[in-house]
């Protein structure tokens, strides 16, 4: 699972993407430098302190932005309990997770609205502090900077392109008009590509016409990023089309060894990690599946401790274990697998184990189907 867990809020595990180490450093240096330039009288220690507090404060408000999305999704029926906080957008945002166009729009705009409210409130508070307590100038500076960054985040998030929230809003509108979420996703990808190309042109123009090309470079980079993201939308639509109509029973791995909960990791961990067994092994007791172990669980244990660690100590077990059935749609099960962050899902017919749905088995059937249609993945 990506990100480092930092907190649990309102039932959600908050995980911070590692890119925030870089972002906090950049914001700290930038804010400290700007303060020193615009307020020469400020002490270097104070400018660096304001920069650090501002960067960490901004990070916390981005957590609030993502939490607003998660709460809106929960109201729509989402069972996700994890929020991974990226700097901007989410790599998985192309997936349709809302139940309706209206819900898609509400989930999409919850984040920008939260950032807009936080930014406006912080700037108002900063101005009040400046007017009523000038001695608290550094505090006001930090609040104003975080507020301004949140207003920028709200504006950037609303740009109509994936993986930004505005891309989901475009999809919601096109979905509502067409009645088909795939049509909505295609429309959002097309709009995103146009926006990305427009920003590339604007960025190049700024570089040519401006004596300070930094702003132009940043605009062009955003345009390139959005244009590349539009390509990922096309790939998602292609893969989603290949998955359509496939049953889990057709995509699962039917012959996999099972594990006893009392086995120690040294008897199978090496094979799981090198791919010779697995990649996900069901744990069975009295012919009933009670858990699953994959590479992610094995990696949590140092090799020196394999001989003293039992399967049941590391497995993902009931009631947290998601499963699939042989007759259900692969599209639905694939979304469940992706959300679980597991290496595989047990496929059960009632209580009987029929196989394991893994990313490897899904990739195999998609390659076979693409080749049958004369296409390449």
Phi and psi torsions of 278, nearest 5°: 90, -145
Instruction: Report the alpha-carbon distance of residue 185 to residue 174 in Å, rounded.
Output: 8
pLDDT digits (tens, 9 = 90+) for 44-71: 888 898 889 889 999 999 999 999 999 9
pLDDT digits (tens, 9 = 90+) for 240-279: 777 778 899 999 988 778 999 999 999 999 988 888 887 8
Question: What per-residue confidence (pLDDT) applies to 126?
Answer: 92
What is the largest distance, in Å, between two alpha-carbon atoms of the chain? 75
Q: Is the peptide bond before 14 cis (omega within 30 degrees of 0)?
A: no
- How far is the CA of 86 from the CAs of 93, 111, 117, 208, 257, in angstroms? 12, 13, 20, 32, 37
Whether pLDDT at 285 is above 80: yes
pLDDT digits (tens, 9 = 90+) for 286-306: 889 999 999 889 999 999 999
Question: What per-residue confidence (pLDDT) applies to 99?
Answer: 85
pLDDT digits (tens, 9 = 90+) for 309-338: 999 999 999 887 899 999 998 888 887 887
Q: Among 17-31, 54-68, 111-125, 279-293, whose mean pLDDT is lowest?
A: 17-31
Average pLDDT for 199-228? 85
Whether pLDDT at 42 is above 90: no
Instruction: Report the alpha-carbon distance of residue 40 to residue 49 in Å, rounded.
Output: 15
In order, the DSSP letters of 60-74 are HHHHHHHHHHHHHHH
Long-range contacts of 43-50 (CB under 8 A, 24+ apart): 46/138, 49/138, 50/138, 50/141, 50/142, 50/145
From the list 168, 167, 185, the residue with the least C-alpha distance to 226 is: 167
Question: What per-residue confidence (pLDDT) applies to 374?
Answer: 66
Is the overall model pTM greater than 0.75, yes or no?
no
Question: What per-residue confidence (pLDDT) applies to 354?
Answer: 92
For residue 355, the number of C-alpha atoms closer than 13 Å in the C-beta half-sphere is 16
* Domain spans in the chain, listed from the N-terminal domain onward: 1-158, 163-243, 248-372
Average pLDDT for 210-238? 80
Total residue count of the chain as it appears in this document? 377
Q: What percent of the chain has pLDDT over 70?
A: 95
Cα dihedral across residues 194, 113, 88, 58: positive or negative:
positive
Domain 248-372 has CATH 3.40.50.720: no
Average pLDDT for 131-151? 88
Count of C-beta atoms within a 10 Å radius of residue 5: 12
Coil vs helix vs strand at 221:
helix
From the list 175, 167, 23, the residue with the least C-alpha distance to 87 is: 23
Count of C-beta atoms within a 10 Å radius of residue 195: 22
Whether pLDDT at 72 is above 90: yes
């Amino acid at each position: 699972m990506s990100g480092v867990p930092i907190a649990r809020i309102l039932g959600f595990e908050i995980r911070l993407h590692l890119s925030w180490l870089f972002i906090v450093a950049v914001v700290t240096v930038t804010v400290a430098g700007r303060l020193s330039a615009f307020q020469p009288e400020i002490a270097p220690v104070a400018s660096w302190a304001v920069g650090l507090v501002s960067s960490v404060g901004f990070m916390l408000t981005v957590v609030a932005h993502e939490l607003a999305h998660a709460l809106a999704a929960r109201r729509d029926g989402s069972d996700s309990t994890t929020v991974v906080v990226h700097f901007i957008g989410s790599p998985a945002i192309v997936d349709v997770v809302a139940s309706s166009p209206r819900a898609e729009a509400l989930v999409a705009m919850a984040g920008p609205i939260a950032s807009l409210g936080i930014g406006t409130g912080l700037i108002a508070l900063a101005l009040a502090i400046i007017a009523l307590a000038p001695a608290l100038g550094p505090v006001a500076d930090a609040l104003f900077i975080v507020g301004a960054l949140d207003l920028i985040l709200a504006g950037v998030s609303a740009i109509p392109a994936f993986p930004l929230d505005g891309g989901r809003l475009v999809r919601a509108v096109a979905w509502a008009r067409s009645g088909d979420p795939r049509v909505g996703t295609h429309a959002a990808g097309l709009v995103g590509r146009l926006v990305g190309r427009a920003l590339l042109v604007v960025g190049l123009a700024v570089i040519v016409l401006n004596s300070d090309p930094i702003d132009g470079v940043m605009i062009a980079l955003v345009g390139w990023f959005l244009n590349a993201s539009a390509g990922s939308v096309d790939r998602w639509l292609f893969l989603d089309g290949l998955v359509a109509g496939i049953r889990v029973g057709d995509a699962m791995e039917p012959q996999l060894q099972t594990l006893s909960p009392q086995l120690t990791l040294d008897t199978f961990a090496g094979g799981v990690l090198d791919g010779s067994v697995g990649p996900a092994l069901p744990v069975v007791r009295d012919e009933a599946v009670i858990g699953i172990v994959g590479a992610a669980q094995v990696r949590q244990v140092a090799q020196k401790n394999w001989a003293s660690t039992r399967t049941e100590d590391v497995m993902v077990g009931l009631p947290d274990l998601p499963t699939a059935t042989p007759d259900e749609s692969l599209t639905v099960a694939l979304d469940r697998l992706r959300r679980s962050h597991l290496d595989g899902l047990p496929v059960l017919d009632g209580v009987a184990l029929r196989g394991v749905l893994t990313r490897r088995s899904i990739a195999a059937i998609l390659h076979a189907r693409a080749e049958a249609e004369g296409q390449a993945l």
